[in-house]
Amino acid sequence: MIFASVLRTARIRIREADHLRKWIVLGALIGVIAGLGAVVFFTALEFATKVFLGGLAGYTPSTPVGEGGHALATPGRPWAIPFIVAMGGLISGIIVFRLAPEAEGHGTDAAISAFHHGARRVRARIPLIKLVASAITIGSGGSGGREGPTAQIGAGFGSFLARFLDLDARDARIAVATGMGAGIGAIFRAPMGGAILAAEIPYQDDLEADALIPGFVASIVSFSVFGAFIGFAPIFGDVASAGFTDPRQLAYYALIGLVAGVFGRLYIGSFYGATHWFARWTLPREVRPAIAGFIVGCIGIFMPGVLGTGYGWVQAGLDRTTLLGLPLWVVLLLPLGKIIATSLSIGSGGSGGIFGPGMVIGGLLGAGVWRLLEGVAPAVPADPSGFVIVAMMALFGSIAHAPLAVMLMVAEMTGNLAMLAPAMLAIGIAMIVVGPRTIYASQLRGRSESPAHQFRFAMPLLSSIPAGDAARAVRLVLHASDTVRSAIERLTGADLPGAPVLDRDGTLRGVVDLDALVKQPPEVKLADAVDSTASVSVDDPLDDVLATLADSHRTWVPVTGPDGLAGILSATDVMAAYRAALAANVRRVRSVSTRGAMIEVDVPAASPLVGVTVAAAGWPPDTVLVTIVRDGRTIVPRGNAVLRAGDRLTVFSTEAGRGPLEAMLGGSPTAVPAQA
């Protein structure tokens, strides 16, 4: 009882808090779990690697300097590697396909899909299954990245938080995106890149700006938590030797962009080609990762760089002496081998990320280009690290359609900002070559295509109408102390399919549906039968109300205000309010002459409009209020918006309407041409 009361209070406080305060709290919570999840996965992967590759194959994979700096080595028992990778694939396949089939493949794409299609519906078991299965897949030698599991851990907790606190549809989406970015930012020790990634990765050509501030909070916290356990050093150390000092080198970076774009298309085609190929197999799904693992292990006998994450080979490419000591054929074939190995390991249903392998492929490409040009072409830098860094950014930045986030992440992973200028050229060219193709199948082109924003773009007026203006009075209210028997009788008598349920103090406990109640014992109290579905606030715009209805699969939703239950809203109510607002806007616009101009006027302190709502202001017939700017912030002129002294109003007005407008404002306010 005490827990339920505390939970209800927390839900009310969260819903009533402004955007910044709300997301400082929620972002910090998501950041803590994402950081701890990254720590657990990092530890589990190290353990699995020691058991499978270290103990069974006598092979210690090379690691970057930020994670121990183990040098390149050869397996002690190379003949065992195919069997070990196959065994890891089989164990992983059994775990995934028996317990949570949606955990197969790369987790980041699943998190993106949840953002667009069901932010509140990620099953709680998914992150745990993904963590264990990915640690086994990668630890046994399968080619995959660490970001997929951590992205799904963060996104999964964001989804859980959305359900637990009854967040509305908009906040639920932000929670999932924030968790995804925080998990990736932690495991790569790249908090800035992770925060930007949360906003950039859901779309190919757009940005989820609402996720930026929550992403900053969550990524900072997750990075701090992860660093406290694992360390704060950049993964590849501080690569201070890389720099851009000769404009002639831009030609080489343009070449890197071109090559990265070609290999990016090859990576996308190979990965999804393998995915579709394995999907046509009639063998049990648990067996497919094992067969793919055996093939990967055979490749690994000759090219150990394809096994596991491969980060140690990128570290080798950053060092001139080590890179020159490798056979040229190994340097040139490793990117192709990594593409094939990742496509087999993850495309077959194995568990792991494709972000990390993409950066490894890019880094090895840069090393290969440097090896071919070094000592042959003029102005080639003596150190290969610049080529490696830029190629990492170009390849994955282009195929993920997240150029800014990936540039920042690689810069943080290498402790080097000097290569950002040539990287912009390389990424631009790579993105032209890649075109609309993407490594994340769940990405959408922009917000206008996303179910998360479909109502706002299809019916833009909805965003300017608050739920309180469209809510209707509640016909029947039930109480938590009522029995199921009495609730059924009252609902049947009122011919209603459901009703909101209030606690003794008048706060909303949830809702009940008649169809669900008839399945409950008659003497059970409603407190134990209530569905704590999401509610909406009187200030929530109607597009978010429709999104909440769609996300919760309900036909109506309760509306709450500062004094408790304010009414209910159904999809029919929303559409009626939209039609009324649309008709009112059309009538008002038609009444204004086409011979007018946009003007800006300031509301003086002595104006009679100060403290008056927009709806009650009584605007002259030859004017249309377009926007209100207050303290540098643009406010949609909803009917319940209260005007204040100092507000700058943008108004479309004819010459005939300008005089009455100034008279209504009081005095002679200065009118200036509206900025273009």
Confidence at 674, pLDDT banded by 50, 70, 90: very low
Query: ∠ CA(180), CA(223), CA(409), 5° rounding?
Result: 70
CA 435 → CA 106, 328, 400, 482, distances in Å? 22, 31, 11, 61
- Which has the closest alpha carbon to 110: 94, 95, 127? 127
Place 324 in a pLDDT band, splitting at 50, 70 and 90: very high
Q: Does the fold of domain 591-673 match that of domain 2-237+246-449?
A: no
Residue 609 has pLDDT above 50, yes or no: yes
Pairing of strands 597-602, 633-635: unpaired
The DSSP secondary-structure symbol of 380 reads -
pLDDT at 460: 67
Place of tokens 């429709």: 546
**Mean predicted lDDT score pLDDT of the chain:** 87
Q: Report the CATH number of the 2-237+246-449 domain.
A: 1.10.3080.10
Does the structure show a pLDDT above 70 at 455? no
Q: Where are the domains of the chain?
A: 2-237+246-449, 454-576, 591-673
pLDDT at 576 over 80: yes
| Higher-scoring residue by pLDDT: 542, 213 | 213
Provide mean pLDDT across the span 437-459: 78
Question: How would you class 302 by CB atoms within 10 Å of its CB: exposed for 0-12, middle for 13-18, buried for 19 or more?
Answer: exposed
Q: Tens of pLDDT along 80-131?
A: 999 999 999 999 999 988 887 776 767 788 889 888 887 777 777 888 898 9
C-alpha to C-alpha distance for 542 and 533, rounded to whole angstroms? 18
Kindly state the average pLDDT of the residues 482-494.
Answer: 90
pLDDT of residue 564: 81
Q: Which CATH number fits domain 591-673: 3.30.70.1450, 3.90.1150.10, 1.10.1040.10, 3.30.300.30?
A: 3.30.70.1450
Measured CA to CA, the distance from residue 640 to residue 277 in angstroms comes to 57
Measured distance CA(615)–CA(465) in Å, rounded: 12
Dist CA 261 CA 361 (whole Å): 12
The more confident residue out of 297 and 631 is 297
- For the question of whether the overall pTM of this predicted structure is more than 0.85, the answer is no
- What CATH architecture does domain 454-576 belong to? Roll (3.10)
**pLDDT of 240:** 83
Q: Are 252 and 366 in contact (CB under 8 A)?
A: no
642 - beta bridge partners?
613
Distance, in Å, from the CA atom of 400 to the CA atom of 395, rounded to the nearest integer, reads: 9
| pLDDT reported for residue 184 | 95
Across the range 595-609, mean pLDDT stands at: 79
Per-residue pLDDT at 187: 95
